[in-house]
Amino acid sequence: MTAFLPGHLVMVDIPGKQLDAATADFLREHQIRAVCLFRKNLGSEDEIRALTSDLRAVMGERALIGIDQEGGSVIRATSVPQAPAAMAL
């Protein structure tokens, strides 16, 4: 029988552009496997690379790391190519 792991069913928000010890401990303790990044989490490409690497180290290689990137007037990641908004499609 497979254990029920509620932490695998939620996506959480984290503070800042770096993974602090308290947040890493929370992710480990609750076995969280998905994080959504917002503007407050996104810095330079090197900062994003370091943050996602740290998140994978804590949550595992199969972690889901998403960005709140809606398109149109909501653009969080300004350093990546922009797809057209849903209305334009």
Higher pLDDT, 49 or 84: 49
Higher pLDDT, 64 or 2: 64
At residue 68, the pLDDT reads 82
Are 38 and 75 in contact by the 8 Å Cβ rule? The answer is: no
Paired with 35 in beta bridges are: 12, 65
Helices (H), the chain: 21-29, 45-59
Digit-coded pLDDT (tens) for 7-46: 778 899 999 999 999 999 999 999 999 999 998 998 888 9
45-59 helix and 21-29 helix, angle to the nearest 10 degrees: 40
How many CA atoms does the CB half-sphere of 32 hold within 13 Å?
19
At residue 29, the pLDDT reads 94
Task: Write the DSSP symbol of residue 31.
Answer: T
Digit-coded pLDDT (tens) for 67-84: 887 655 555 556 666 666
